[in-house]
Structure 1
């Protein structure tokens, strides 16, 4: 029987909080049960297992990150929107490192639940929408989306791992990276039909 007050959302949130504190790789069913003050078996009424829990953490994080980015970019366009998007993305990764990690791995969860989830789809839509101000068409638009995602993820991941040991502040490099990204998007070489891919 499920413990009174214990829900799938509570279990997911407990797992997400633990992930932020100790890292997603260290989240276990036992650790989440201890955090909630229940026996391990109680959790299985609400989640199928560790992979299901991690998938739910990823969906929670995708929703949170997307909401933060949407609020930051509302009413903005071009470089202004790109900067707001990137800053919201980076801040979320700083504030919720374990949850952020969950958004970067394949989601192992019930396909039906994944199909109903709005966060991952909305995140993609927001990125494409923000880049349309640069007047890119396919396949250039998808290439640009991949460049933006790779740049932001690469920077925040290296930063989190202590990869920027140089005396120059990471914040200064971040600003320059966003300027360079804007410049690359503004002067994107159009895809030529028949060109080597």
Structure 2
């Protein structure tokens, strides 16, 4: 019998908080059951298993991240929009490391289509409208932005820049400047 007040949304939020505190790898049905003080078998009334838990956290994270990035980009264009988008992603990753990791999890096609993924695509397209990147080059530009921004965030989160100078913040600023320059000078032919 389901516990009073416990539902799939509540389970997902507990799982997301657990992932933020202990890492996405610690996200198991047993760990979430302990966090809500029920037996693991009782949790199956709300979630099918660990894969569904991770997918739920991914969906939540993508939604929260799209909201934050959308707010950041609103009313901006060009380098201001690019920087605002990147800073929103970086801030979210710092505040919610487990959720951010979940946002990078591969989702099945059906789940991906109902996710906020298309909102992220629209945000990136709006950033690209501030540059002269031809429409048929947008996929390449989006992949460049994703690789640089998310790659930097993941490396920084893993501590890869902790033992060298200059600071990761200085490198982050330089990366964003170089991305802006690349988008401003993107070949149009």
CA RMSD of aligned residues (A): 1.4
Q: Aligned ranges for residues 90-169 of structure 1 at < 5 Å?
A: 90-108=90-108, 111=110, 114-117=112-115, 119-164=116-161, 165-169=163-167
Mapped contact 1:79–1:182 kept (Cα < 8 A): yes
Mapped contact 2:132–2:183 kept (Cα < 8 A): no
- 1:184 match: 182
CA distance in 2, matches of 1:187, 1:137: 11
- 1:20 match: 20
Q: Aligned ranges for residues 34-73 of structure 1 at < 5 Å?
A: 34-73=34-73
Shift of 1:63: 0.3
Shift of 1:167: 2.3
- 1:195 match: none
5+ residue gaps, structure 2, are none
Task: Tell me how many residue pairs correspond in the alignment.
Answer: 188
CA distance in 2, matches of 1:42, 1:10: 14
Shift of 1:116: 3.3
CA distance in 2, matches of 1:87, 1:73: 10
Mapped contact 1:52–1:108 kept (Cα < 8 A): no
TM-score normalized by the length of structure 2: 0.95
Shift of 1:114: 4.6
Mapped contact 1:55–1:108 kept (Cα < 8 A): no
5+ residue gaps, structure 1, are 193-197
- In the TM superposition, structure 1's runs of 4+ consecutive aligned residues that sit over 3 Å from their partners are 113-117
CA distance in 2, matches of 1:96, 1:108: 23
CA distance in 1, matches of 2:41, 2:174: 50
Q: Does 1:84 align with 2:81?
A: no
Flag the 1:93–1:3 CA change in 2: closer, same or farther, 3 A.
same
